[in-house]
Chain A
Amino acid sequence: MTYTFHWEVPLRELPAFLWGALATLEMSGVACLLGLLVATCGALARLSKRRFLRGAATAYVEAIRNTPFIVQLFYVYFGLVTFGINLEAFTVAIITLTVNCGAYSTEIIRAGIQSIHRGQTEAGLSLGMTYWQVFRYVILMPTLRVVWPPLASQFIATMLGSSVASQISAEELTYAGMMLESRTFRTFEIFFFIAIIYFLMARLFSFLFSLTGQKVFREAWGQL
């Protein structure tokens, strides 16, 4: 092996990478929050009595889950241009991530809703709880407790997956690396360094989510 590593190349650009990391978090955070709205509607549609709604929601979920994100990204990116809509790549990435995250979260929310039996609501009411109390303690909190861990993993998966957005030149962490790479050609060092940043972010958020899950939802459960 005659290769000399130049680790100072990515180290010098640390501020640019930190900025990129924030952009990645912004992109995936916004997409996940919007995706949660999509997913709630999707889950209600999947559990709806109307066949049309059920079919549409199932088609949406299956279409997204069985195709690669990069193809979805190109589809939206070039599709919008075809219809004469010119958006920034960053916005296009958020839209596609929202659609993608929405489909995966639909299944999570649906499982959460289905985990509450009708009998539990009736039991709450017959114990003299008000509708609001039943909603809060019997429906909302237990559902959140069920959906919290998979939603947290979904956020991390979305964050890691958002690196693909660099391929339509949306300005985030991977894109920052590609920019530096095109100037210095230190491909290995740069992407190794960036992978470490992604890894640290993934670990940090996984820790924060599990901490929040324990603090918020277990306590809420304990109040009963």
Chain B
Amino acid sequence: MPEIFIAFSYKDVLYLLQAALVTIAMCAMAFSCGLPVALLIGLIRTARRIPALRWIGWAYVEVFRGTPLLMQIFIAYFGLSILGLQLPRFVAVSIPLILYTGAYMGEIIRAGVEAVPRGQWEAGSSLGMSYPQLLGYVVAPVAVRVMIPPSVGFLVQLVKGTSLAYVVGYVELTRAGYIVSQSTYATMLVFTIVGVIYFGINYPLSLVSQGLEARLKRHA
């Protein structure tokens, strides 16, 4: 075999593990910045008195759930450059993921808020509580419990979603796997390792989500 073929070595594994950290960082960024968006969407989706707000929230969720994440990444990534924004690439690929998180987590928050019976809202407001007080003292304690298992489940979806940053050439775990596989020709080995790393990140999350859900069901 000619020397231009670089054999697969432990260094490649280290490179893949580093790339996995990028994947985790993207996921953390998208989730933490997506939560405020989600809170906004979840709250306007449950606004009873203002139909226009409800409608905007509904449209937002439908758009993000009705189009491929791949398209969202393409559009946001190239749309940002059209707007003339020169953002670091990490931020540019995170923005579509943040908006995506906003839509899915927004639905989870809405479901949580709606899990609180009407009577409790009414009881709170008849005691003279304001809307923020109602949310904080009446809704949140119940809603958060309902929201946690699906939120952890969504994290799994988000980690998988970050793999699509591959399409704009951003080096995260999948792109790193592709690069290593092209330079070493150890394709199957590389993608097995990549798959195992993703599994290693996601499976614990899946187990936690399932466990919490089962616990919630038992105590319901």
Contact = CB atoms under 8 A, between A and B. Distances in A.
B54 interface: no
B74 interface: yes
Contacts, number: 113
Interface in B23-39: none
Interface in A82-125: 82
B210 to A, nearest CB: 10
A223 interface: no
A75 interface: yes
Contacts of A167: 166-167
B202 A78 contact: no
Given A67-B199, A191-B78, A198 B71 contact: yes
B75 A188 contact: yes
Interface of A: 1-3, 62-63, 65-72, 74-75, 78-79, 82, 156, 160-161, 163-164, 166-167, 174, 187-188, 191-192, 194-195, 198-199, 202-203, 206
Interface in B44-80: 62-63, 65-72, 74-75, 78-79
A66 B158 CA distance: 11
A160 B67 contact: yes
A18 B75 CA distance: 20
A174 B70 CA distance: 9
12 contacts: A65-B202, A66-B199, A67-B202, A68-B160, A71-B191, A74-B177, A74-B187, A78-B188, A167-B167, A187-B74, A194-B71, A195-B75
A93 B17 CA distance: 28
Of the four ranges (under 10, 10 to 19, 20 to 34, 35 or more), the interface on chain B belongs to: 35 or more
B195 A191 contact: no
B191 A68 contact: no
A205 B68 CA distance: 15
Contacts of B181: 74, 78
B156 interface: yes
Nearest to A199: B66
Contact of A71 (B156, B161, B177): B177
B66 A202 contact: yes
B143 to A, nearest CB: 23
A70 B198 contact: no
B84 A1 contact: yes
Contacts of A74: 174, 177-178, 181, 187, 191
A199 B69 CA distance: 12
Contact of B163 (A1, A63, A68, A163): A68
Closest 10 CB pairs of A and B: A68-B163, A66-B202, A163-B68, A195-B71, A202-B66, A68-B160, A191-B74, A78-B187, A160-B68, A187-B78
